[in-house]
A = this chain, B = another copy of it.
Amino acid sequence: MSDYTFNKKVVLDVSRVRAFEKELYMAEGLSEEDAQIVADHLVEADERGVYSHGIQRNNIYTKRLELGGTMPRGVPRIIRSFGATAVVDGDQAMGMVGGVFAMNEAIRLARIYGTSTVSVTNSNHFGTCAYYVQKAADAGMIGFMWTINCGNIMAPWGGVERQLGNNPFGIAIPCKTRPTVVLDMATSVVARGKIVMAMKTHSPVPESWAFDVDGNPTSDATKAYWGTVQPFGGYKGYGMTVINAMLGAVLNNSAFGETIVDFYEEPDKVQNNGFLLQCIDINAIDNLDDFLLRMDAAVDYLKGGKKAEGVDEIYLPGEIEYISQQKALKEGIVYPIEIIEESQCIADGLGVKARLID
């Protein structure tokens, strides 16, 4: 189901990877509870086939924890509170720690007021949006997440300079028996990693992926690498990119534009990453169970439509990831050996006893 093909594979039980990850992040100084959150987040991404946001990030996350860009014992706290809103200072803890803290508060507020908005500042790279908005869906709510990326790679429409991230956003809506509908997307046509991969393998890229330094579409991966990623859907995706940055970062004075700290290139610097969470408690609008049944019917209706030739299945947002997760929970996660060896090496260096492979 995933984009990835691995030369040498290893299949690992999810509980084993979770236990390993927890120990790894405890060895980096996180509390047991916080290490559990990070472990859960990363392993869930891998279960869902979103390897880009899974344990392959151990390398950069641990580097940042060691070099001071991320605070292992940061404690997120509410610094402003009004009605159904809150502002959370992430205290430069791991982004997952701040994200879970903030989403828990958003869910608590929405239970009281029917809806809520929680703005997070002074945080860090938080992984996937799907993880947080699904927590809202699991609580019988609709969850929204608006974010700014930790690195500028996109030009404003008509521009040529890297002034914007491919700022992701996520929205989750629960169903009765169908998987939660989860939209989680960045605003570029493809991840920049795909352009890097093409350059390394001397392959051309589709002209829709990137602009060169002069703002022209290019199929040359090297020119694409030095240029800017294209927003999905042209100026419409650019519009979404700008809005996500304003909701996630400008709203609460987090890093934007020239104050963005590059997640990879500046591991010793705190990021001041911002994001915005919103919840709607479905029970405030209608009987939850009636709604969940309507969602099942809506999903059935879309999936039941006539398919184009060669198409086996019509999928809802997040459904492919759900299927991947169900398979991983039963059969284990398929990993490329390189990722496992890299993580094991980091853990060995820290004296972690848990092992990914024997």
Contact = CB atoms under 8 A, between A and B. Distances in A.
A298 B215 CA distance: 21
A149 to B, nearest CB: 15
Contacts of A295: 246, 250
Given A85-B115, A233-B236, A302-B163, A314 B171 contact: no
Contact of A155 (B80, B305, B315): B305
A214 interface: yes
A43 interface: no
Interface stretch (A49-57, A65-73, A280-288): A280-288
B119 A243 contact: no
Interface in A122-173: 142, 155-161, 163-164, 171, 173
List 8 tightest A-B contacts by C-beta distance, closest first.
A215-B308, A233-B233, A232-B233, A85-B114, A83-B113, A115-B117, A83-B114, A158-B311
Contacts of A242: 181, 183, 302, 316-317
Given A237-B232, A242-B316, A307-B160, A291 B250 contact: yes
Interface in A252-273: 252-253, 256-258
A42 to B, nearest CB: 24
Contacts of A307: 158-160, 215
Contacts of A80: 285-286
Q: Can you tell how many copies of this chain the complex includes?
A: 2
Nearest to A317: B239
Nearest to A251: B285
A82 interface: yes
Given A257-B298, A309-B214, A314 B84 contact: no
